[in-house]
Every structure is written in C-alpha cells, then in structure tokens.
Structure 1
Amino acid sequence: MGVIISGCNIIESLLLLLLCGLCCWQLESQLRGSSFMVAAFINVRQTRDIIITDAVKRIRRDGYPVEKHHVLTKDGYALTLHRIPQYNTSSTTTTATGACGVYSRRPVVFLLAGIYASSDAWLLNGRENSLPYLLWRQGYDIWLGNNRGNIYTRRNVWYNATEREFWNFSWHEMSIYDMPAMVDYIMQCTGEAKMHFVGISQGGTVFLVLNSMLPQYNGVFKTAHLLAPVAYVSNTKGGLAKIFGPILGTRNYVAKVLEGMEMVSTNKFVKKFLSSLCFEHERPMVCVSRLWPAVGYDTQHLNKTLLPDIMANFPVGGSFKQIMHYFQGYVSTKFRQYDYGPEKNWLLYNQLEPPDYNLELVTAPVTIFYAENDYIVSVEDIWRLLMRLRNLQAVYKIPRRRWNHFDFICGLGVREFIFDKIIRAANYYEYTYS
C-alpha cells in the first residue's frame, strides 16, 4: 500500500500498524536476505529506466510540450497546474489572446485525478495511450489539475505543511476553493469561456460538489466525463470503510485528532524504493497487495506492467479529513457536507446535521462510467447518483465483469472502453456546436 502516516503519537502509530501491517510484513520478509535484496535493488536501478515522479519531466520525456502554472485559492493554498499546450500556429489557425499570451485557439480539456493522486496519474499509460496525450493529438489544449495537499500543492500563504491548520480540509474545500480557482485561471489564461472536464473517483466528487454549491459553474462545462465518481458510498466493498468507517465516520476524540493531520507520505525516496521492488524481483500480486485499499484484491484487468510507475506516483499526499468525509457518508448513507457535531454544525450550517449536497442543481452535461466489480463505488450507489442528475448524456457500464476501481485509469483496454468514448464525445460537441 505504501502509506506512511505523519507524526509519532500513539493514535497515529496504531493506525499505521493497522493500515500498513500487511505492507510492512511483506517488506520485512523481503529484506531478511539483506545482501541479496541490496544486490537486486542495485541491479534493478542499473538495468531499468529511472522511475519518474515529476509530471513535467514525464511529459517532456514522452515528447510533448509542457508548462507549469501556479494558482492561489481564496483560502491561501498555492496549487500547481500542468498544461500540455498547442503551440503550433499557422496562417490558417485562429489565434486567441489570453492572460498567458497568444496561442492557437484550441478547445480546453481539464482533467482531475482521484484521492491522494496527482497529475501523474493521467500519464502512467505512456506516450501512446494516456488520455491527455490522446486528446492533445486531437488538437485539444490539456490542463491537469492538482488539489491541495498532494506533492505539487504543499504551500499555503498562512500555514506551513507541518501545522495542523494546513491539513484541516476535505474534498469539500477542494470543491469550493480549488476547483473555482483552477477553472477561473484556465479560462483567464486561454481566453476560452468553456471547457471539457474529465474526473476520476474523487475528481468526480469535486465536480459534483462544485456545481451543486456554486451552480453558476455548470455553464462552464461543455461536457463532463466522470469515471467511477464517488458520491454515495454506503454500499462500498472497500475494506477501509468497513473497518474504520464506524470509528472515523462518527464524531469522537480520535476523529477530531486526525482532522488536522496528513494521511500519506510524499517521500519520493520511499516511493522509488517501493516501486523498484515491483520489477522482476517480485511477483506482481505481492506488489498489488500494497495498493489494496485503492484497487481491491481482484486485479485481473489491472495493467501490471505499470505497477512500478503506479507505486512511485500513488499515493502522493492528502489529509485524513478527505477519507474521513467519505467514512461519514458510509455511516450516514448520505452525500452531504462534513459533520462537525451538533454544536459546530449549528454554527456553520444553522442546523444540527450537515446539509445534503443538492445534486439536482448539477445541470452540466454529464457522462458516467461505472463497473459492476468496482471495489470502491458500488452499482447501487452509482444508481442513487444517476437518479438525481438532471442532465445525463450517457451512462456506460464497463463490459468486463471483473473491472475494478483503479482499472478506470490503468486497466487493460481502458482506451477502448473509456478514453476513445471521451474523445468521440468531445469531438462531437466541437464539430456540432462550434
């Protein structure tokens, strides 16, 4: 799993043992023959390409242009956006002037990854099959978003990443602060008034909350493609929710302590070391077992050749409060704002329980992709979401019975089942309405 919890108090230590016991046991057993493992590690590093943990370096290595942009949210978080721009201009190409200069006028696609992930998640399938590259080759201006707390967004105007106040956020704050900041910046930079959106897992959560809380943003999105969006989670198969949900999804001392803490490590050395163990010296299923909270145990369709890159680039930072917000949804069976307890709820919401997100206000054209075997998002919970959306364009069930949550971005056949459909829908919009 590769999860390291910051801090050294008793509560964190206990959670570290519970969450990472399997991973640590495996790692310890592998390192008992230390001389052999050191030799194997050195051999791996000498005979394999160096694992890349930086989106700019990866995009350049894959042969595409790249820019890095910085955005400041209203509550002081400095976010990083990665852009794959369309530089080519000619006498037949319409140009547009935005805050970032003069570019060939191209439609924009904004992509947002899931929980504890970053821009890199979209790039793991390589130069030929990654969705951003496929869209770029179709002539789109590509923007990859990063929410607060991940490896690219660990700065705040008022707080350091070592302070509790920095980590006191969930995906609600990402929705009402991060998303508007990134969307507004992209429109200002490009001069475009609308864009296409693609979000996976928590990226879908953030999109839904944004458009329900700030419905004026519905008009910004030409199309929205949500891959296994997480809204309702009461029927999830996820082991973490079943084990920790009843504890961390309710108001108690442990939950209050963890609200201001980082959940996962962003230490690149640790991630590169774990990724090196995923090469030929370790069985793929042993490596997969470290990712079980995200991928589940059934990984028949996961592209296991990508495991070293997955281990090096996931997870990449976030708060405990993010996953605790989902745990609250598991316990309450509702999709609603964060529960701070009756007293604080009354101060914040003027009611004893947190209000539900009004999904009927999400009027942007939405396409949903889901799978029967999804470890995180069950079919029952997807259908609860579908019943509340006003502008559904299409719903695709992945035609693979054992397709799982991580397969939506790194699965065998993901281009055929998902990426090509997204491209066709975006192209249809551009050819029809432009």
Structure 2
Amino acid sequence: MFHKAAYFVFSPFAAFRIFGKWFSSPSAGDKDIDDNVSNASVPTATLGANDPSPRERNLTLHHTLNTDARTCRDVITELGYPYEAIHVITSDGYVILLERLPRRDARKAVFLQHGILDSSMGWVSNGVVGSPAFAAFDQGYDVFLGNFRGLVSREHMDKNISLRQYWRFSINEHGTEDIPAMIEKIHEVKTAELKLSHPNEETNDEQPYKLCAISHSMGGAAMLMYVIIRRIEEKPHRLSRLVLLSPAGFHDETSFLFTVAHYICLLLAPILALFVPALYIPTRFFRMLFNKLVRDFHNYPAVGGLVQTILSYGFGGDSSNWVGVLGLPHYNMNDMPGLSFRVIHHLAQIKRTKKFRMYDFGSKAVNMEVYGSPEPIDLGEYYSFIDIPVDLVAGKKDQIITSSMVKKHYRLMKNSGVDVSYNEFEYGHLDFTFAHHEELLAFMMSRLLLVEPDLKRQSSPKKALKLKKTGQARSGVSSD
C-alpha cells in the first residue's frame, strides 16, 4: 500500500493516466501498477558469490508479500537430492530436528553443525556447487545436518512449558544435551541400516562406520564441549575427526558493539533474565515485515549496500555478506531463529574470564551441584582428553572470531598433545558457510578423506580418567 502510494506521489502523470484508464477498463490500471511495483519471483542463486549453480532455477515465491518460507527440505528436494527428517528428543525433553541426505549403505558419514542464529539451511544455501552438504553427499558420504534447540524446532515434550522455562539453556545444553542426542540417534540409525544392508557380515564392531563432524562458530565450541565431557564421563563420542570452522570458545578480542553488549549483559543479567528470556521476533506479522525489509534491500542495491556497510562496521569491519544471510529462507514469516539470553550471558562470561568455561550459574552451591566444584569446568584445561584429529580453520577477515582466538585453541591443543592442524583463509565470519569458495570445500573434503571407513573396532575411551580437581569427578553436567 505504501509502495503504491509513493508511486502515485512521485509519478503524477502516470497516476493520472492510470486513473483515466480505470473509467474505460477497470482492470488495466491495476495491471499497470503491478507491472511497475511488484516482483513475482526470486532466483535461488548463491547468496555469497557471483557464480550461481547451473542446476539452480527461478522459483515462484510462496507468498504474495515477497517472502520466502522454504525449508531446508524444500531446498534439498528442489535440487534433486534425497531427504529424511529425524525428530530427536533430548534427555531434558526438547524435540530437535536432525535432517539427512541419506546414503543408507555408506560406511562414512559426516555431521554438520551450525553456529549461532543459524540452522541447517546454512549448509545447503549455496546450491549444488557451493554447499558443503551437497559436496559431501557427492563424495559418497551419508550427510546429517544438526539443528540446535530453539531454532528450526521449538517443540518440547512438556506441552505446557512456559517460554521462560523453555529458553533456560546456555551453550552447556547445546554441548551436553543436543549434540549427544543427535549423534546417538545417528549411531542407532547407521548401525541398524548397515546390519540390514550387510546381513551376512560377521563383525563384533560396535560402530561399523566412521563419523566426522564439521562445525561452525558456536557449533564448534559446543562440539569441543561434547567431546571433552563424553571423555570425562567415559562414554564414547563416536567421532573420528573434527573440522572446526572459526570455532567459538575464546573471545578476548571483540568489536566495540560486542564489548558494549558484553558489559550491559554482565551488569544487568539478573534483571534481563527475568524480562528477556530470549531474543526473537514473536509474531508472524513482525517476522513478515522483517523478511520483507531484507528482501527489499536486495531489490534496491543502494539501500542494501548502505545496510551492509552499517552492519559490517557494527561487527568490527567483518566483510561477510550480512544482508545476504538475513535473506536466507529460514528467516521467514513462519519461523525465525531465536537466541537464548543464557547463551548471550555465557558468551559474556567467556569474554570476561578469558577462558573457555562452562556456564557459571552465579552461585557456588549450584555450581557445586552441577559440576562438583564451586567454579565451572575450564574446558581448555582438558584439551588433552581430545583423542581424535582436529582441524582448526580461521578467517583472516573474520572480526567476530578473529584468527588470534582460533590460534589460542591451537596452542592449547598442541601443548596438550592433540593431533591438531591450523589453516587460514581470506574469509569473513559468515563466509565459511554462506559464501561459495571452492578452495574451502576442497579443504573440507580433503580432511574428511583422511578418515577411511573400516571394520576395526573404534577404540573406546580410556578408563578411570582422573580430573585435575577431584571435586569434578562427578559426571554432573545436567541442565538446571
């Protein structure tokens, strides 16, 4: 309505002509207006590159208001790939969505875990040529796409759970509830399928497949937490290799915007926790407006460029395609990612202490109950427990998680005897998933190919692991 009104104001002669036509042909004026001010379709071109995939095509929008509500399933199936949705229930009752590009008889599998305010969509958003999920599938991998709680699915087994209670989770729960539930489901599914496809094969191997994990940003921090806590609990993590793209965990250097947010969060945490359990757009109408604005940024390059510049400076000069990312289909009127306040608070605690620690509940008694110690577990002190190869990847242009922060992971792992490698690319923070870079895809695939599937029994975790603090010997990392 505003768009048409502006058209009439700034094009008076065209407006008079349209009004004149109304008296002779009732439908002609509407057609002229629509031809000038509406747009019927958008391409599924690569968001972060200038070279879209040849298999991509123009698709009619799902909504007349120029919003795109495609799901990860829609993107995968439209490009001709197989798809399977698996609903996983965590031990604390959250229902999360594990998505899959299935190769049921494959003995090599890869688990892709997204970062903050992202979803499985990030791994398929660049089409056939530029997406890690499709690249891995084409190389013969059974591909699993993880989703954290509070993003694609906001279901819970307790249908009467309050919003405040639902959002009471930090990065702890991502690493000790979400990832374990998804990987155990992968193990259950793969083991059953391989037994069916190879019924005559005699082996005592409890894991007849190899599973690698590729994680981005906060997903990398949660994956490290998962591996360490499983080792502390003397449980198998079932992974053969970790590829961590710009992993979170250390946040010594942050932009001015994040520094201000850090101090506000720490100072006002008790108050904000009561009134702001999470950051998300609550109603369908306002989600539609947000999505419409972002798509208009794409239609008007000058405005989109201005917004891109503002966002880039706000995030410390990071050159990622911020406007393009906000235009991804999972930011739609039906469902948008949300961010728990406790996750924000957890990141602020990590920045303040300059340590990769689990969540501090602010009470020594509660910490003692959860961790067996008055202080949260410092995960950096237990990097020696990581018993699989780790590939760390940093972005030279990344101003969200700078290369120096990733190098801190590397130094600690190297000093702890971990089989770790470090690589840098000329990327911003979001370029690792949303941009089309052949060299990055080639690197990730080369890392995966280092793990060859075989029928040997996966080595079990060492028994009787001793924590440096005897009070932490309890395996108490449950949610509050």
Q: TM-score, normalised by structure 2?
A: 0.71
1:77 aligns with 2:77: no
Question: C-alpha distance in 1, partners of 2:246/2:187?
Answer: 26
Q: Does 1:223 align with 2:241?
A: yes
Match of 1:377 in 2: 401
Match of 1:207 among 223, 243, 246: 223
Aligned with 1:81: secondary structure?
A: strand
* Alpha carbons of structure 1 residues 293 and 354: separation in structure 2 relative to 1, 3 Å: farther
Aligned match of 2:83: 66
Closer, same or farther: CA 174–251 of 1 in aligned 2, 3 Å: same
Which moves more between the two structures, 164-173 or 263-272? 263-272
- Where structure 2 has 5 or more consecutive residues not aligned to the other structure, the ranges are 9-32, 44-58, 62-67, 192-207, 457-480
Aligned residue in 2 for 1:99:
none
Name the SS for the 1:396 alignment partner.
Answer: strand
Change (3 A) 1:265 1:252: closer
Report SS of the residue matched to 2:221.
helix
Instruction: Give runs of aligned pairs for residues 115-134 of structure 1, distance below 5 A.
Output: 115-134=116-135
Structure-to-structure mapping, 1:32-431, within 5 angstroms? 35-36=6-7, 43-46=38-41, 49=59, 50=61, 51-86=68-103, 103-150=104-151, 152-158=152-158, 160=160, 162-191=162-191, 192-215=208-231, 216=234, 220-237=238-255, 239-249=256-266, 252-257=269-274, 261-265=277-281, 267=284, 269-283=288-302, 284-288=304-308, 292=312, 296-299=316-319, 302=321, 308-309=327-328, 312=331, 316-343=337-364, 344-357=366-379, 358-389=382-413, 390-398=417-425, 400=426, 403-412=427-436, 414-416=437-439, 418-430=440-452
SS in 1 for 2:393: strand
Mapped to 2, the partners of 1:40 and 1:347 lie a distance apart of 65
- Judge conservation of contact 2:312–2:318 (CA < 8 Å) in 1: no
Instruction: Quickly say closer, same or farther: Cα 1:139–1:271, change in 2 above 3 A.
Output: farther
Which structure has the greater CA radius of gyration?
2
The answer (yes or no) to whether the contact 1:295–1:405 under 8 Å persists in 2 is no
**Matched length:** 379
What letter matches 1:43 in structure 2? S
Cα contact 1:155–1:161 (8 A) shared by 2: no
Deviates most, 334-343 or 112-121: 334-343
- The alpha carbon displacement at 1:128 in A equals 1.8
Deviation at 1:320, TM superposition (A): 1.6
Would you say the 8 A contact 1:117–1:317 is kept in 2?
Answer: no
Please name the residue that 1:26 is paired with. Answer: none
Post-superposition CA distance 1:343-366 (Å, at most 9, x none): 433443454432312333222211
More off after superposition, 322-331 vs 176-185? 322-331
User: Could you tell me which residue of structure 1 aligns to residue 202 of structure 2?
Assistant: none
The offset of 1:42, in angstroms, is 5.7
Rate the CA distance shift 1:219–1:257 in 2: closer, same or farther, 3 A.
closer
Query: SS state of the match for residue 240, structure 2?
Result: strand
Instruction: Indicate how the Cα distance of structure 1 residues 428 and 356 shifts in structure 2: closer, same or farther if over 3 A, else same.
Output: closer
In structure 2, relative to structure 1, the CA distance for the partners of 1:36 and 1:249 (3 Å cut) is farther
Change (3 A) 1:159 1:306: closer
Task: Return 5+ residue gaps in structure 1 as ranges.
Answer: 1-30, 87-102
Alpha-carbon contact 1:77-1:156 (below 8 Å) kept: yes
